[in-house]
Amino acid sequence: MSRNSADHDADVIVVGAGPAGATTAYHLARTGLDVLVLEKTAFPREKVCGDGLTPRAVKSLVAMGIDTSAEAGWLQNKGLRIYGGGMRLELPWPDLAEYPPHGLVRKRTDFDETLARQAQKAGARLHERTTVTGPVTDERTGRVVGVTAKPVREPGSGEGAGTEITYRAPVVIAADGNSSRLSVSAGRMRRENRPMGVAVRTYFESPRHDDDWLESWLELWDGKPGQSNLLPGYGWVFGMGDGTSNVGLGMLNTATGFQNADYRGLLKAWLSGMPPEWGFVDDRQVGQVRGAALPMGFNRKPHYASGLMLVGDAGGMVNPFNGEGIAYAMESGEMAAEVVAQALARPDGPQRERVLESYPRALSARYGGYYTMGRIFVRAIGNPQVMKIATRHGLPHPVLMRFTIKLLANLTDPRGGDAMDRLINALAKVTPAA
């Protein structure tokens, strides 16, 4: 039952309706709370992404009751195909009790709207074309008690933004992505000592569109492998099942030349060495090359303070090991919803606040040690020679690579599991969170 009152416009305000915001809103609405979601754009809308989902994300989709069948427009994948060190290796997703043994592919134009509409079906109120302009704070305590927002008119209507509106709620959740203007307005800046990635991608009409493996290229050459220059970063090719492939590359800020890199040029140089029959050429390109930042390893904190909670990219929750963000956006959204629902069942005051303050501790317990290991990994592979040695000497060993895919994709059974699971879980537990 809603605990809304005359003093508030909702029990919870969620700013942003991407995977983090939609998942948070869904799970909150399922508890009976009155949830208001403010989204600056309108669906369907595009986001820069590889469009590939690991089994972690599939588990979160199932928890939201979303139909992930082929009939509903999803393409399953078996695992990861890796190119590097002159080798090609296919690694199936691990067979675990905790996660399904398959991943999925879905364009973000469809994916984000699917999640947002599912939140609406659960009872969340979604206001599209509503730009949040800043937090509303209590003058006495400094606590965030709401937001100001402006409705944005339809493109081409000839009208600008509407009148600014104030919305109030006991808890405000920032799910507004990497830039998270709401977090910045509340004084929570990005931590410069945390890894950051940049990814660029585009689509090509390709006969490889129905490939049921996610493809990762650990070495990028600007021509035929071994006969040209090694480029910084890693690449991917994901078949979309609709006649196109999503092709892109990512680069970490620990890589040499990160600051001055021409990402679009790097992508073009890499694709120049691909077999022409794959169709990754200019006249088969669909749409522009687009880029986005990948905020990694908790690069914005605190994740909760004074009425404002951060989920997904707003809290820098992209996995440093593999650049995956959607699974962690959805998982953090579900965690946030559970904490908020429990908190709002308590009286306003110290009891409620103690519950809300448990959210950062829960995130740290779940991801803190693992993300610390990820930051160490990112620093290491920033050296091209380290990556070269790792691919050439690691890929020939299937057992080592099965361990690697579990580590990089964070796919282990938390209880029991095999020796690899127990080792990875133990390492994450003993590694200090920061």
Q: Residue 126, SS3?
A: strand
The domain ranges of the chain are 12-75+107-192+297-371
- Does the pLDDT of residue 156 top 80, yes or no? no
Tens digits of per-residue pLDDT, 262-299? 888 889 988 988 999 999 999 999 999 999 999 999 99
Tens digits of per-residue pLDDT, 6-56? 567 999 999 999 999 999 999 999 999 999 999 999 999 988 888 999 999
Cα–Cα distances (Å) from 335 to 17, 28, 100, 342, 424, in that order, read 16, 10, 20, 11, 22
Between CA 56 and CA 66 the distance in angstroms is: 14
- Burial (CB < 10 A; 0-12, 13-18, 19+), residue 364, is middle
What average pLDDT does range 61-77 have in this prediction? 96
Beta strands in 257-296 (DSSP E): 285-295
pLDDT for 334: 98
pLDDT for 230: 67
pLDDT for 48: 87
- Burial (CB < 10 A; 0-12, 13-18, 19+), residue 264, is middle
- What average pLDDT does the structure give for the chain? 91
pLDDT for 372: 96
Amino acid residing at 206: S
pLDDT for 5: 53
What average pLDDT does range 128-145 have in this prediction? 96
pLDDT for 155: 67
| Token pair recorded at residue 7 | 């003093």
Domain 12-75+107-192+297-371 top-level CATH class? alpha beta
- Does the pLDDT of residue 159 top 60, yes or no? no
Tens digits of per-residue pLDDT, 307-359? 999 999 999 999 999 999 999 999 999 999 999 999 999 999 999 999 999 99
The enclosing H or E element of 234 equals strand 234-239
Give percent above pLDDT 70 in the chain: 94
What average pLDDT does range 115-124 have in this prediction? 98
- Does the pLDDT of residue 1 top 50, yes or no? no
Tens digits of per-residue pLDDT, 367-402? 999 999 999 998 887 776 777 777 777 888 889 999
Whole-angstrom distance between the N-terminal and C-terminal Cα of the chain?
Answer: 38
The phi and psi torsions of 269 (rounded to 5 degrees) equal -65, -40
Between CA 346 and CA 353 the distance in angstroms is: 9
Tens digits of per-residue pLDDT, 396-428? 888 999 999 999 999 999 988 899 999 999 999
Tens digits of per-residue pLDDT, 289-318? 999 999 999 999 999 999 999 999 999 999
CB under 8 Å to 297, separation ≥6 — which residues? Answer: 194, 195, 316, 318, 320, 371, 372, 374, 375, 378
pLDDT higher at 138 or 383: 138
Helices (H), 49-164: 55-63, 108-122
226 pLDDT band, cuts 50/70/90, is: low
Between CA 397 and CA 84 the distance in angstroms is: 13
CB under 8 Å to 188, separation ≥6 — which residues? Answer: 180, 300, 301, 302, 308, 310
252 pLDDT band, cuts 50/70/90, is: confident
- Burial (CB < 10 A; 0-12, 13-18, 19+), residue 376, is exposed
Q: Measure the CA dihedral 390/424/426/371, to 10°.
A: 80
- Does the pLDDT of residue 224 top 80, yes or no? no
pLDDT for 266: 87
What average pLDDT does range 121-126 have in this prediction? 98
pLDDT higher at 88 or 135: 135
Helix H, strand E, coil C: the string for 52-63 is: EECHHHHHHHHH
What average pLDDT does range 63-88 have in this prediction? 93
CB under 8 Å to 23, separation ≥6 — which residues? Answer: 60, 64, 115, 119, 329, 330, 333, 334, 337
- Does the pLDDT of residue 231 top 70, yes or no? no
User: Nearest-CA neighbor of 102 among 66, 149, 54, 67?
Assistant: 54
Q: Is the pTM of this model over 0.85?
A: yes
CB atoms within 10 A of CB 397: 12
- Burial (CB < 10 A; 0-12, 13-18, 19+), residue 374, is buried
DSSP character string of 96-115: -SSS-S-EEE--HHHHHHHH
177: alpha, beta or left? (left if phi > 0; alpha if psi -120 to 50): left
Residue whose tokens read 């120049």: 272
- Residue 221: strand pairing partners: 230
